[in-house]
Amino acid sequence: MIFLVAIGATVLYLTWSKADVIPESEAPDTGVHGAGPGRERLALSLYAVTALAAGLLLHHTAQTPHTSPIAAEESGSASNTIQLTPAQAVAHFPAADVASLKTIIDDTLTKVNAGDQSGARTRIKGLETTWDDDESTLKPMDSNAWTFLDGRIDDALSAVRASHPDPATEKQALTALSTSLGG
């Protein structure tokens, strides 16, 4: 915005002061004739219309709600439209990897049920780390299943890490994730 104001001020200064205009006595003859006041008004009108259109576009864009990738990631899996049965979700993944994830989820759910929020947060970090470490292996095996489970894991992470955690929401997210893994 500062640059736009500076450019506008420069244009207004040069328009009124004519400091950038070469006097007619020193100007070389270019052979162009007919640039009278009518053409100048037309050009100025086109500039004004262009400036008005740019201003309207900026105003419209500023009024449009924006979302950042971070906000979209924090909102959970609302954009995750993939739905799979538990059998489909784990069909292409190694049983040992699924069992490891399920163990972490069950441990976290046990801590939530016991009211150990701090322990649940610590344990859910293990889920996040394991899932992220295994991404390069699991995602190529079945990207749809990986995306589906990733959304469920994001929901569980958000529920357990909420600033004011709700045990019912935590239990629901963890149970849904556990069920998705075939448990």
Look at residue 91 and tell me whether its pLDDT is greater than 90.
no
Share of the chain above pLDDT 70, in %: 85
Q: Please report, for the chain, the start and end positions of each structural domain, with discontinuous segments joined by +.
A: 92-180
For the segment 88-98, the average pLDDT, to the nearest whole number, is 88
Dist CA 125 CA 58 (whole Å): 43
Give pTM, 2 decimals.
0.56
**Which segment of 24-28, 107-111, 173-177 scores lowest on mean pLDDT?**
24-28
C-alpha torsion sign, points 68, 70, 72, 74: negative
Alpha-helical (H) ranges within 64-94 are 69-74, 86-90
Give residue 33's pLDDT: 61
In the chain, the amino acid numbered 23 is P
User: Helix 95-113 vs helix 167-180: angle between axes, to the nearest 10 degrees?
Assistant: 160
pLDDT at 41 over 80: yes
